[in-house]
Chain A
């Protein structure tokens, strides 16, 4: 199986300079930026440059637990994610890159009658959208995860078609295909300023030179505000640090992603056999710091070992952290901000940006290339926070981790 290649994906190493101009410059080579780049190129818009200040997978796209679920509390999100799941199933063939997507399901555990009601309400909505989710009692939960301790479990919701993927290859797959279609990827190219041209268009200044762009898309996740400020746009988002860890590699035994509502604990077994998981910590102040704390391992292990006692003797291999890009109503901020036409936002995805990237990338590309403008671009605008249409958008509150 030969693997010699004359395809250079990341152009920075070879010293290739930035082009003088591009139709679209995407700032942020995380999963959103790369998905949008790939999809726009697929639809014929190939004069695209994607910039990142660091290496691929440095941001939240490289730090998340790889969960892909359709269990949400708003119909919009359920339907979007159903499409995203379908796209993940096709990803390896379409992008010619393995992403190890495994549909082992998601099991949500409730510890009180109130939590059970909450799950029931969501399950009803999800079932109406055609998701094969069902409510279970404690024993039913143990059928799915035999190692589970049922102590205090009041009920559960399980959707077998939810899944887990390995995030890094998504980036490489999108980058590979986008590059083949003509997109230029430049990593280690921090953006230092953006000039808004009076007649339209932008000049994006980076540490490695400048590029003129007809349109700019800000896909920097938790760092989106830093870039949007360069065109005078302030964002109401804020970063919350979420810690996560992985265990030693074990032979496969855990089928679904498991999540405990009361603590925000979530964990699953990756394609490499590691248990990857996290938990919410109380009273977290906004920060872009990605340092690790003993407090996290203490909370995590307390909850995890209580739920699955067998894991007490399993070893932690590594802990790290990534930012959740929080938005006031749990929904993303998309489209052009008022006053800066041609500048596009794509942030505020809280803890579900990665899983939404396949479908959002496709929808954004359709809109950017003159195709359909999906309803999310009319709903999830920046100005909804400024009174216009505020309250019309259903708040998404089924967030974990």
Chain B
């Protein structure tokens, strides 16, 4: 049946894109992520990482347990910038700027 099989909804990454990345030798989960763009959108891999990791394990012929998760970075959910602006850690009296300036 013709048509796209979407593996990463946020970035419109198809199964074909993932397979192509692996064929080129970019087969580590972090490389597949960067090369295809999966997991870099608004959901940051929540829906797709486990699924794609399993595909990577199969296509690259390795044990599932050897495939690492890609690095999880803050914030876990998209957060408006205004929530951070009054955090005391950002106090300008901390002396932002260096002598190099």
Decide yes or no whether A285 CB sits under 8 A from chain B.
no
Task: Please measure, in the bound complex, the distance between the C-alpha atom of A292 and the C-alpha atom of B71, giving whole angstroms.
Answer: 12
B50 contacts A by Cβ under 8 Å: no
Q: How many residues of A contact B (CB 8 A)?
A: 59
Indicate whether A56 reaches chain B with its CB closer than 8 angstroms: yes
Chain A, interface SS category: loop
> Separation in Å of the A208 CB from the closest CB of chain B?
15
Chain A residue numbers with a CB within 8 Å of B96 are 262-264, 279-282, 299, 303
Choose from B16, B27, B31, B90 the contact partner of A301 (Cβ within 8 Å).
Answer: B90
The reply on B2 being an interface residue by CB < 8 A is no
A186: nearest residue on chain B (CB-CB)? B25
Contact B90 A12 (CB under 8 A): no
- Nearest residue, chain B, Cβ from A263: B96
Q: Which of A188, A263, A316 contacts B75 (CB 8 A)?
A: A316
Min Cβ gap A148→B in Å is: 16
In contact, A12 and B97 (Cβ under 8 angstroms):
no
Contact across chains for B97 and A301 when beta carbons are under 8 A apart: no
Which residues of B are found within 8 Å of A247, using beta-carbon distances? Answer: 81
CB distance from B46 to the nearest CB of A (A): 12
Bound CA–CA A319/B44 (angstroms): 12
Chain A residue numbers with a CB within 8 Å of B27 are: 10, 13
Question: A251 within 8 Å of B by Cβ?
Answer: no
Majority SS at the chain B contact face: loop
Min CB distance B99 to A, Å, is 10
Interface residues of B in 1-48 (CB under 8 A from A): 16, 20, 22-28, 30-31, 34-35, 41-42, 44
B78: which of A188, A304, A316 is its contact (CB, 8 Å)? A316
Q: Does B60 contact A (CB under 8 A)?
A: yes
Q: Is A377 an interface residue (CB 8 A)?
A: no
* Interface check A261, CB cutoff 8 A: yes
Kindly specify which of A305-313, A355-363, A365-373 makes contact with the partner chain: A305-313
Contact (Cβ within 8 A) A9 B101: no
Most A CB atoms within 10 A — which of B35, B75, B84?
Answer: B84
The answer to whether A315 has its CB under 8 Å from any CB of chain B is yes
Cβ of B23 and Cβ of A5 under 8 Å apart? yes
Return B28 CB to nearest CB of chain A, in Å.
5
- Please state if A312 and B26 are interface contacts (CB–CB under 8 Å): no
Q: Please tell me which one of the listed residues A9, A168, A301, A302 contacts residue B34 in the complex, with CB atoms under 8 A apart.
A: A168
Residue A319 contacts which of B31, B35, B60, B75 (CB distance < 8 angstroms)?
A: B75
Beta-carbon contact of B44 and A318 below 8 Å:
yes
B57-68 contact mask (Cβ, 8 Å, vs A): 1 or 0: 000100000000
Our pick among A5, A9, A297, A399 for the contact of B84 (Cβ within 8 Å) is A297
- For residue A384, CB closer than 8 A to chain B, the reply is no
Q: A314 an interface residue at 8 Å Cβ cutoff?
A: yes
- B25, B91, B97 pick with most chain A CB within 10 angstroms: B25
Q: Find out whether the CB atom of B100 lies under 8 angstroms from the CB atom of A330.
A: yes
Q: What chain A residues lie within 8 Å of B86 (beta carbons)?
A: 302
The residue in A12, A297, A311 that gathers the most chain B C-beta atoms within 10 A of its C-beta is A297
Q: A340 CA to B27 CA in the complex, in Å?
A: 37
Q: What's the Cα separation between A58 and B28 when bound, in Å?
A: 12
Given the interface pairs A8-B25, A9-B26, the reply to whether A292 lies near B73 with Cβ below 8 Å is yes
Say yes or no for A248: interface residue by CB 8 A criterion.
yes
Question: Do B98 and A10 touch (CB < 8 A)?
Answer: no
Q: Are B81 and A315 in contact (CB under 8 A)?
A: yes
A317 beta carbon closer than 8 Å to chain B: yes
- Neighbour of B81 across the interface among A249, A316, A318, A320, CB < 8 A: A316
* Set of chain A residues within 8 Å of B81, measured between Cβ atoms: 247, 297, 300-301, 304-305, 311-316
A147 within 8 A of B: no
- Inter-subunit contact B34/A62 (CB<8 Å): yes
Chain A, residues 96-114, CB within 8 Å of chain B (1/0): the string is 0000000000000000000
A-B contact pairs, 11 of them (CB 8 A): A3-B16, A8-B23, A13-B60, A172-B35, A283-B95, A297-B74, A299-B94, A299-B96, A312-B80, A317-B44, A318-B74
Nearest 4 pairs of A and B residues by beta carbon: A298-B90, A10-B25, A298-B87, A315-B78
